[in-house]
Amino acid sequence: MAKAKESGAVLSAVLIADQEGSFITRELDLAELQFGGLPGDRHFGVTSRADVRQPMYPRGTEIMNRRQISIVSEEECEQIAAALGIEKVLPQWLGANMAVRGFEELTHLPAGSRILFSSGAGLICEGENEPCVFPGKVIAEHSGNPKLAAKFVKAAWKRRGIVASVECPGLVQPGETIRILFPPAT
Amino acid sequence: MAKAKESGAVLSAVLIADQEGSFITRELDLAELQFGGLPGDRHFGVTSRADVRQPMYPRGTEIMNRRQISIVSEEECEQIAAALGIEKVLPQWLGANMAVRGFEELTHLPAGSRILFSSGAGLICEGENEPCVFPGKVIAEHSGNPKLAAKFVKAAWKRRGIVASVECPGLVQPGETIRILFPPAT
């Protein structure tokens, strides 16, 4: 097996979207990743239904869920805030399930990379999370500037983080050091 | 969503490893992909056990199975045969579950790419399949030249094809045209 590149970072937050009708997440002190993601989260499930993000399948088709966990970097959130001219953009507002610090270019992490936790749990990066319009509305509301809603997608382009799926279940805790392993190594 | 690059090719063979104690595959006239792969194949399963290919997990840990289906290109098999100085290398000898023709650089297909079939079934490319020593022994046996066994890994480097998992179940049939979709599009 070819040697994998490795890079360290810190898991700064673990968050869950468990409020009816909302994608906004709230922080957890500790969480257990299971096959399918974070139990109780709106994206939890080993399989999911094809939607606008998988136009190659008829809407509603049962497919494997590759969008179980969404992850942002704190540094990229700061860049989005700067691009919008506001003080901050919280991971919660983006519906992120995890935030990391110390790995700036998270959005460019290649699909197939692994994110490994001290419990032994592991995620597989499924690719870039392309920005949609909804977080823009939340940011506009929090900042009191309605014009920001339309600016979010451009400001967040290539900074929106990644989506991942659980390869190996286990506990995850804010503050822990994580390992990021680049492919190849399937 | 960013526009995905697309490329066509033909599914030239569908194969299964269903003989006790052997990784060698045999051709099928028709097969049904299910979540987990090809039922009856030695790599079938939504989850599998970590082995030498996943050294970041303790051996035997239950993990998601990203090596459900292995795929080679006919053109790359011809290149391996040329590098070994023999007439042919059959997909069967490599334990491949699928062979494709008309997509030469299959091994370089990015992780996260999709392979789509006319039934609506779809695979996700999980990455390059790095060559191991076992097919070399089969090739040596078939060619009557024991020296080839040791040469296989080098000859097959970056030509060994990919591993994939089933994203959407459905039928697959040799001879059909397939679509190959590049990321992004998670």
User: Residue B159 sits in a domain of what CATH number?
Assistant: 2.40.33.20
Query: What is the span of the domain harbouring residue B54?
Result: 6-181
* Position B1 pLDDT exceeds 50: no
Contact B130 A184 (CB under 8 A): yes
- Residues of chain B contacting residue A49, judged by C-beta atoms under 8 Å apart: none
Q: How far apart are CA B45 and CA B43, in angstroms?
A: 6
Q: Do B124 and A165 touch (CB under 8 A)?
A: no
Crossing angle for the helix pair A134-143 and A148-156, nearest 10 degrees?
A: 120
Kind plus residue range of the DSSP H or E element containing A156? helix A148-156
- Residue B3 banded pLDDT, cuts 50, 70, 90: very low
- Residues with pLDDT less than 50, chain A: 1-3
Which of A56, A109, A133, A162 to probe by mutation at the B interface, max B CB count within 10 Å? A56
In a domain, A186, yes or no: no
pLDDT of B185 reads 55
> For residue B1, is it within any domain?
no
Band the pLDDT of B5: cuts 50, 70, 90: low
Mean pLDDT of B57-75: 97
Nearest CA in chain B to A60: B168
Which of A63, A124, A130 is opposite residue B1, by nearest beta carbon?
Answer: A130
**pLDDT: which is higher, A141 or B126:** B126
Tokens at A67, concatenated: 């969008």
Residue B104's pLDDT band, with cuts at 50, 70 and 90, is confident
Listed as own residue / partner, the contacts of B28-31 with beta carbons closer than 8 Å and 24 or more positions apart are B28/B174, B29/B173, B29/B174, B30/B171, B30/B172, B30/B173, B31/B171, B31/B172, B31/B173
A129 contact residues in B (CB cutoff 8 A): 186
Residues forming a β-bridge with A58: none
Contacts of A64 in chain B (CB under 8 A): 35, 124, 165-168
For residue A1, tell me if it sits in a domain. Answer: no
| Chain B contact probe: residue of A33, A119, A186 with most B CBs at under 10 A | A186
CB pairs A-B closer than 8 Å = 112
pLDDT on residue A18:
96
Report DSSP state, residue A91: G
Whether the upstream peptide bond of residue B174 has omega within 30° of 0, thus cis, is no
Structure tokens at A131: 């920005």
Judge whether A28 lies within some domain: yes
Pairing of strands A26-28, A6-16: antiparallel
Query: Is-contact B74 B12, C-beta < 8 A?
Result: yes
Provide the phi-psi class of B36: left if phi over 0, else alpha when psi is between -120 and 50, else beta: left
Q: Is residue A85 part of a domain?
A: yes
- Please indicate, yes or no, if residue A15 is contained in any of the structural domains: yes
Q: B183: distance to nearest CA of chain A, Å?
A: 8
B86 is written with which tokens? 């023999």
Q: Is residue B186 situated within a structural domain?
A: no
Q: Say whether B135 sits in a helix, a strand or coil.
A: helix
Nearest chain B residue to A108, by CA: B184
In the beta sheet, which residues pair with residue B114? B124, B181
> What is the CA angle B80-B82-B84, rounded to 5?
70
DSSP label of B94: G
Residue B31 lies in a domain: yes
> Which of B57, B116, B120 is the closest to A168 by Cβ?
B57
Q: What is the ipTM of this complex?
A: 0.91
CB contact under 8 A, B168 and A2: no
Query: B107-121: per-residue pLDDT in tens?
Result: 999 999 999 999 999
B131-183 pLDDT per residue, tens: 788 888 888 888 888 888 889 989 999 999 999 999 999 999 999 999 999 98
CB A160 within 8 A of CB A72: yes
Q: Cβ–Cβ of A124/B186 closer than 8 Å?
A: no
Provide mean pLDDT across the span B59-68: 98
Instruction: Specify the number of domains making up chain A.
Output: 1
Asked if A126 and B64 come within 8 Å (Cβ–Cβ), the reply is no
**pLDDT computed for residue A1 by the predictor:** 38
Cβ atoms B48, B57 nearer than 8 A: no
